[in-house]
């Protein structure tokens, strides 16, 4: 596979849409005003399980400005819906608290919100179950885990090897539910006109939204257009259509006017996805030299009664370290909760927290440095499949990080470094994420009047800088300057592209852009530059050919963290965090650094702050806003650095680049937990590491 000549690729190009964003010219979904707009307000269910006995909206419909109230008794019937979460108001059944049971449409937002509170919904509640536990009687083995992996795998004789191992670790690690909280909430402006629908929608893939809406409302694909040029974050929650976009189409149909619908921050905790809580048992067996002889990773997760979603938490344990005896399992239980879904680095983020915490405990038990332990267990080929890696530079990341971080000066004894009332400790963990690629299409056009090139692709920029990276990729493929190229994205009328998710956006889209630009350049070499020229391509054949040799394709990294723990309050600060990554060629170092640091910040939040707390009585999340759902601030993280190694992997795509959007979060939580243990001697195995989990033990140990 050929690789583009370096030019624009690798340069720290400013975001091409930066000026539009800082001056307010960039429009987001809720900011479009196509004519006389109405406003929709969601009516959420107030029970976690049961049925709706009746809805009384008569008085509300008499209020000035109220246009319509929809509920299951008068809502349009949907056609083909493959996702049970999208069967909005199709029955009287309530499957979780916060489920959409109605919508008010009014002339103003204020009127819609007031009227929503006045609609009377009568329920027949039933006993609900919202608690994930390891001994739940209804745990079952799913047919697959996200997206289509086998739930269980086994090689060798784990039980025998573990029983005879010289050193063993048997620990259970827990992570809570976590919620995607992008700055821009899920929002849609729906315009129903002449039997067709145009949606200005905040999403991570316009093609998915277009296809889903067309099927749900019995429309031809040409009757649906989705426009999403700017997206204020998603973190996976906008990867596939959510109930609000279906509701917005219903509302626009009902009142025959454009309708705006924005999900409130509180409602986002119920209807836009979240990371499932996990209970993960890790069993490691090793010889005295720290070489693994047995590994078992058992993951217990929740799903909903509406649709099955199985987080692939045990997946990284299948390929991370060499061992002749390995077993991984996933078990689910259907609870009366919303359906969990993708959140940045699904599977790897919680799974690597458990694995890398256990590896730290194994290093201590063996009396081996944690960096050295990982190096000793680095495999030559993929342990699960036996396939060779397209490139694997985990050891290089560990060694580079150790040198930069000053790891050699570390005293392995926990709880011995102090600065006043602060205990200091350092921790390390490995990172990994698959390097995937999907077929996409792109259009490249040359206009002789302006001498400029236009690239169109139905990609999404969710704040990652994708538009800028694609501009650089196109410029190199065309052998022109960045200023001569305009990349247009976020419109379903453009050539189809895979969604922004799984860290495969630039890999998938960039491959299509490279092909389109090279074909356009070849055509212009024959026909000259005096006439307009245009080509449109897809990369189905190339994507298939890229998987001809079954290579294991992954990015790798190493996370190093220094934590400070206040012995008086149990408060944890991160004084230093360093991430070192091997992710192929970096398209844009400026935007890449932002992605790495953003992921690392989320990983620190996962370790210390993020926790959606379920109320067992009402079946709802208690802290369903950003006042109660805590994320890191400047005061929590004093210094952070992200660097990367020079790596060119020609097997993954024409650019030689791997995805970077998610690997930054992976391993960070474990590195923090390992650092806290090194600082205090206390091992917290259930995230987040709140002060109350430390303070009760700190005085006995350190005063």
Buried b (16+ CB within 10 A) or exposed e, 288-325: eebbbbbbbbbbbbbbbbbbbbbbbbbbbbbbbbbbeb
pLDDT in tens, 613-634: 999 999 999 999 999 999 999 9
| Structure-token match 């799974």, residue found | 351
Could you give the percent of the chain with pLDDT greater than 90? 95
Q: What is the pLDDT of residue 286?
A: 98
State the Cα–Cα distance between residues 674 and 50, nearest whole angstrom. 44
Domain ranges of the chain: 18-27+438-546, 32-127+183-233+238-271
Phi, psi of 554 (to 5 degrees): -150, 150
Q: How confident is the model at residue 703 (pLDDT cuts 50, 70, 90)?
A: very low
State the Cα–Cα distance between residues 191 and 35, nearest whole angstrom. 9
* Alpha-carbon separation of residue 343 from 118, 276, 547 (angstroms): 34, 9, 26
Task: Examine the pLDDT at 376 and tell me if it is beyond 60.
Answer: yes
The reply to whether 662 belongs to the active site is: yes
Could you give the percent of the chain with pLDDT greater than 70? 98
Q: In 3-state terms, what secondary structure has residue 131?
A: coil
State the Cα–Cα distance between residues 694 and 478, nearest whole angstrom. 57
Q: In 3-state terms, what secondary structure has residue 271?
A: helix
Q: What is the pLDDT of residue 697?
A: 83
C-alpha dihedral over 507, 513, 516, 517, to 10 degrees?
Answer: -120
pLDDT in tens, 539-580: 998 888 776 879 999 999 999 999 999 999 999 999 999 999
Distance, C-alpha 151 to centroid of its chain: 20
Mean local confidence (pLDDT), 487-494: 98
Q: What is the pLDDT of residue 702?
A: 45
Q: Please, is 150 exposed, middle or buried when counting C-beta atoms within 10 Å of its C-beta (0-12, 13-18, 19+)?
A: middle
Distance, C-alpha 250 to centroid of its chain: 28
Q: How confident is the model at residue 6 (pLDDT cuts 50, 70, 90)?
A: low
Q: What is the pLDDT of residue 700?
A: 53
Is-contact 598 581, C-beta < 8 A? no
Q: Which helix (H) or strand (E) holds 701?
A: helix 698-702
Is-contact 247 42, C-beta < 8 A? yes
Q: What is the pLDDT of residue 2?
A: 45
pLDDT in tens, 382-435: 999 999 999 999 999 999 999 999 999 999 999 999 999 999 999 999 999 999
Q: Which is the catalytic residue, given 17, 85, 542, 662?
A: 662
Assigned CATH class of 32-127+183-233+238-271: alpha beta
Q: Is the entire prediction scored with pTM above 0.75?
A: yes
| Structure-token match 């969604």, residue found | 499
State the Cα–Cα distance between residues 499 and 519, nearest whole angstrom. 24
Is-contact 309 343, C-beta < 8 A? no
| Structure-token match 């024409």, residue found | 654
Calculate the average pLDDT of the chain.
96
pLDDT in tens, 265-323: 999 999 999 999 999 999 999 999 999 999 999 999 999 999 999 999 999 999 999 99
Phi, psi of 490 (to 5 degrees): 70, 35
pLDDT in tens, 215-240: 999 999 999 999 999 999 999 999 99
| Token pair for 127 | 């006993």
Instruction: Report whether CATH 3.30.365.10 matches the domain 18-27+438-546.
Output: yes
């Amino acid at each position: 596979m050929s690789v583009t000549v370096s030019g624009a690729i690798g340069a720290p190009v400013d975001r091409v849409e930066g000026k539009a964003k800082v001056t307010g010219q960039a429009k987001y979904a809720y900011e479009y005003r196509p004519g006389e707009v109405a406003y929709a307000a969601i009516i959420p269910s107030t029970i976690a399980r049961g049925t709706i006995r009746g809805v009384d909206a008569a008085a509300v419909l008499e209020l000035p400005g109220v246009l319509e109230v929809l509920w299951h008794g008068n809502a349009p019937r949907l056609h083909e819906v493959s996702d049970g979460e999208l069967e909005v108001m199709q029955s009287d059944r309530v499957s979780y608290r916060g489920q959409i049971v109605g919508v008010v449409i009014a002339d103003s937002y204020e009127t819609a919100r007031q009227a929503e509170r006045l609609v009377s919904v009568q329920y027949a509640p039933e006993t609900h179950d919202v608690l994930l536990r390891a001994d739940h009687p209804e745990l079952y083995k799913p047919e697959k885990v996200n997206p289509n992996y086998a739930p269980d795998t086994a090689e060798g004789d784990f039980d025998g090897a573990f029983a005879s191992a010289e050193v063993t670790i048997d620990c259970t690690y827990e992570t809570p539910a976590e919620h995607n909280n992008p700055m821009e909430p899920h929002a849609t402006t729906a315009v129903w006109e002449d039997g067709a629908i145009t949606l200005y929608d905040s999403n991570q893939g316009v093609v998915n939204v277009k296809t889903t809406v067309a099927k749900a409302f019995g429309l031809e694909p040409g009757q649906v257009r989705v426009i999403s040029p700017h997206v204020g974050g998603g973190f996976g929650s906008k990867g596939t259509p959510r109930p609000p976009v279906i509701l917005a189409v219903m509302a626009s149909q009902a009142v025959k006017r454009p309708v705006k619908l924005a999900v409130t921050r509180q409602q986002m905790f119920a209807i836009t996805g979240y990371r499932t809580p996990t209970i993960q048992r890790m069993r490691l067996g090793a010889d005295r030299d720290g070489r693994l002889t047995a590994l078992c990773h058992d993951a217990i997760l929740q799903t909903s009664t509406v649709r099955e979603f199985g987080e692939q938490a045990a997946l990284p344990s299948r390929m991370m370290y060499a061992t002749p005896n390995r077993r991984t399992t996933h078990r689910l239980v259907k609870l009366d909760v919303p359906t969990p879904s993708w959140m940045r680095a699904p599977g790897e983020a919680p799974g690597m927290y458990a694995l890398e915490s256990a590896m730290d405990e194994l290093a201590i038990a063996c009396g081996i440095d944690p960096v050295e332990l990982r190096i000793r267990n680095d495999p030559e080929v993929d342990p699960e499949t036996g396939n060779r890696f397209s490139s694997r530079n985990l050891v290089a990341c560990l060694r580079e990080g150790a040198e930069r971080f000053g790891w050699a000066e570390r005293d392995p004894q926990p709880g011995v470094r102090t600065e006043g009332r602060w205990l200091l400790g350092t921790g390390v963990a490995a990172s990994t994420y698959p390097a995937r690629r999907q077929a996409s299409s792109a259009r490249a056009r040359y206009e002789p009047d302006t001498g400029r090139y236009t690239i169109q692709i139905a990609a999404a920029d969710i704040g990652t800088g994708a538009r800028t990276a694609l501009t650089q990729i196109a410029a190199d493929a065309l052998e022109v300057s960045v200023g001569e190229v305009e990349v247009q994205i976020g419109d379903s009328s453009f050539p189809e592209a895979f969604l922004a998710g799984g860290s495969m956006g630039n890999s998938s889209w960039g491959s299509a852009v490279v092909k389109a630009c090279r074909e356009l350049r070849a055509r212009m070499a024959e026909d000259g530059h005096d006439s307009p020229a245009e080509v449109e391509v897809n990369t189905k054949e190339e994507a298939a050919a890229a998987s001809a040799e079954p290579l294991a394709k992954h990015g790798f990294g190493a996370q190093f963290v220094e934590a400070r723990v206040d012995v008086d309050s149990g408060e944890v600060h991160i004084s230093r965090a360093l991430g070192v990554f091997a992710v192929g060629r970096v398209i844009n170092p400026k935007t890449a650094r932002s992605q790495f640091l953003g992921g690392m910040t989320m990983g620190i939040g996962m370790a210390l702050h993020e926790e959606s707390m379920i109320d067992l009585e009402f079946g709802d999340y208690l802290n369903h806003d950003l006042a109660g759902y805590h994320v890191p601030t400047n005061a929590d993280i004093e210094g952070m650095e992200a660097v990367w190694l020079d790596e060119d992997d020609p097997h993954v795509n024409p650019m030689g680049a791997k995805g970077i959007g998610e690997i930054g979060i992976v391993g960070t939580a474990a590195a923090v937990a390992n650092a806290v243990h090194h600082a205090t001697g206390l091992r917290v195995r259930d995230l987040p590491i709140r002060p109350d989990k430390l303070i009760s033990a700190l005085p006995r140990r350190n005063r």
